[in-house]
Every structure is written in structure tokens, then in C-alpha cells.
Amino acid sequence: MSDRIEILGISGWGHHGVLAEERREGQEFSVDVALGVDTRDAARTDDLALTVDYGEVAQRVHALIVGEAFDLIETLAERIADAVLAFDGLVSVEVAVHKPSAPIPVPFDDVIVRIRRERA
């Protein structure tokens, strides 16, 4: 599958992390998703029903960012992948969870967990 729809920088205030301060105070998270979908039928017919509504995908991802807190951003990435793959027509999803304010005691730009999952 070479067709992809990408949504970059879905952001929200989440409370994910293993430290008590992260859970209490929260921090900004950002998520990128790449949706593996065959867009040919939708392109030929100009019909949204034949592709994935990326607005709905973004809303579902945002709800997970700001919703239930997880210790690991690996868990957040997995939950996002599961939720996104529930959309009809998707073959695969790639998820990147960014945690630029992770409590690391040295200078750094970002922490990113990237996963790829395919429909079973």
C-alpha cells in the first residue's frame, strides 16, 4: 500500500508519565499519524465515504492524548494505533508520539515513540 494520508502535530495537554509531577501537572504532547489507505476509488468518484475522514481520526487521537493517563507513551501510541485501525478502509497506521518536555536531565529536542501497526 503506497497511499498515505498524514495528519501531523495533533496536540493536547496530557498527563502521561511515570513521575508524580507528570501525572499531576501534565504537559503538551503531539502526535503524528500516517494512514495506509487505498485512495483510488475515492479519488475517481470524489466520494468521502470511500476513504477515511481524517477529521474524525484527528478527533479520536486528540481524545486519547487528553484522556486517560498512561505511564508510558508506548502505551499511548498503541492505544492510538488500535483506535485508528478501527476506521473502515484502513490497512495500516504509523503513529509517532512526541514528548518534548520529558523529564530528562540533559539538553534534548524531543522524545518520540514511533510504531507501525497493520490490520489483522
| Distance linking the first and last C-alpha atoms of the chain | 15
Q: State the Cα–Cα distance between residues 101 and 53, nearest whole angstrom.
A: 31
Q: State the Cα–Cα distance between residues 25 and 52, nearest whole angstrom.
A: 35
CA 87 to chain centre: 13
Stated as kind and residue range, the H or E segment containing 85 is helix 73-85
Our CA angle for 89, 90, 95, nearest 5°, is 160
For the question of residue 29 being annotated catalytic, the response is no
Q: Which of 49, 99, 112, 116 is catalytic?
A: 99
* AA identity, residue 94: E
Q: Which residues are the active-site residues? A: 99
